[in-house]
Amino acid sequence: MYQLNYNPPYDWNWMFGFLAGRAVNGIEIVTEEQYCRSFALGDHQGLLTLEPDEARCQLNVTLSEGLQPVAQEVLQRIRQLLDLDCQPHTILESLGELSAARPGLRLPGCMDTFEQSIRAILGQLVSVAMAAKLTSKLAQAFGEPLVENPEWFVFPTPQKLAALQPEQLKQLGMPLKRGEAIIHLAQLMVNGEFPLNSPVDVERGVKVLTTYPGIGRWTANYIALRGWQAKDVFLPDDYLIKQRFPGMTPAQIRRYAERWKPWRSYALLHIWYSDGWVPVN
């Protein structure tokens, strides 16, 4: 077992609830106390299990035998998934009253940027539950059974998805254009052209993502938020954000949000998940 330290406060109930709502059958199981998933890194694959120890401000990590040779890289991916390197007091001080209701919110990241980007595409114009269901269908149709535990699946590789025809993905219950977007993104990944890490200029990087077929501005920003774990992204044209800023245009909302630089991603989370928040002049 490994231990990863973090600085409190940390709202584990919220984080595990967020992950549970998006859990993919065959890939992830999330309870109130534990997160477990399959994962592959290169030729290595296995299961990882995460259990917070709030009294010690530690995350206990168990890796199956298949992941032991790449343990350090997997641990770093876990830190990215759960935003364990966050310095919360710096952010809380910057956000002020906006963060008062939920001081332990962290930015959910991901274990794999490619996987998260595919999941973002699958989540377009459908509910969170439907997105998880579609991702599960994709994993079970085109992923490999985990060697150690065949009842689990490993998320499909870019090579596997890049070789598909859009009609094969349409059969899972998605529009043809969405299947084409997934295949195109996978081909970019195979060719080494997809940005796995946050570029220096995140805004420019988001604009590049929107040039890919089937990726609009909201999806590109969501990839930046969770895939790159960019700290300073805001979505002024998001449906819920527009509800939180009645009477304001997206341009006005964008200007308002500049007060939260360089932590606008955290501001976005607080606005999304803090009931009753209203903007003040």
pLDDT tens-place string over residues 110-119: 999 999 999 9
Q: What is the pLDDT of residue 82?
A: 98
What is the set of active-site residues?
Answer: 238
CA angle at 188 for the pair 228 and 222, rounded to the nearest 5°: 30
Q: What percentage of the chain carries pLDDT values higher than 70?
A: 100
CA–CA distances in Å: residue 200 to residues 224, 228, 231: 12, 11, 12
The structure tokens listed for 76 are 């770093």
* Cα dihedral: 40, 43, 47, 52 (round 10): -70
Domain boundaries, given as residue ranges, for the chain: 2-99, 113-227, 239-273
Residues 6+ apart with CB under 8 A from 164: 142, 179, 183, 186
Cα(232)–Cα(276) distance, rounded to whole angstroms?
23
**Residue with the two structure tokens 């969501």:** 222
**Residue with the two structure tokens 């590109």:** 220
Per-residue confidence band for 237, with pLDDT thresholds at 50, 70 and 90: confident
Q: What is the pLDDT of residue 50?
A: 98
Q: Answer yes or no: same fold for 2-99 and 113-227.
A: no
Q: Which CATH architecture has domain 2-99?
A: 2-Layer Sandwich (3.30)
Cα(253)–Cα(52) distance, rounded to whole angstroms?
36
The structure tokens listed for 160 are 């596997």
Q: What is the pLDDT of residue 121?
A: 96
CA–CA distances in Å: residue 227 to residues 157, 222, 245, 275: 16, 8, 26, 26
Residues 6+ apart with CB under 8 A from 123: 131, 219, 222
Per-residue confidence band for 277, with pLDDT thresholds at 50, 70 and 90: confident
Grouping H, G, I as helix, E, B as strand and the rest as coil, residue 28 is strand
Residues in the chain: 281
**Residue with the two structure tokens 């269908």:** 137
The mean pLDDT value for 227-232 works out to 97
Cα(272)–Cα(270) distance, rounded to whole angstroms?
5
Q: Under a CB-based contact definition with an 8 Å cutoff, are residues 67 and 169 in contact?
A: no
Cα(152)–Cα(173) distance, rounded to whole angstroms?
22
- Say which amino acid occupies 14: W
Q: Which fold has domain 239-273?
A: Endonuclease Iii, domain 2 (1.10.1670)
In DSSP notation, 146-215 reads PSS-TTSEEPPPHHHHHT--HHHHHTTT--HHHHHHHHHHHHHHHTT-S--S--SSHHHHHHHHTTSTT-
Q: What is the pLDDT of residue 275?
A: 83
Q: Under a CB-based contact definition with an 8 Å cutoff, are residues 140 and 173 in contact?
A: no
Say which residue, 67 or 148, is predicted with more confidence: 67
Cα(65)–Cα(146) distance, rounded to whole angstroms?
12
The mean of the pLDDT values for the chain is 95
113-227 is a CATH 1.10.340.30 domain: yes
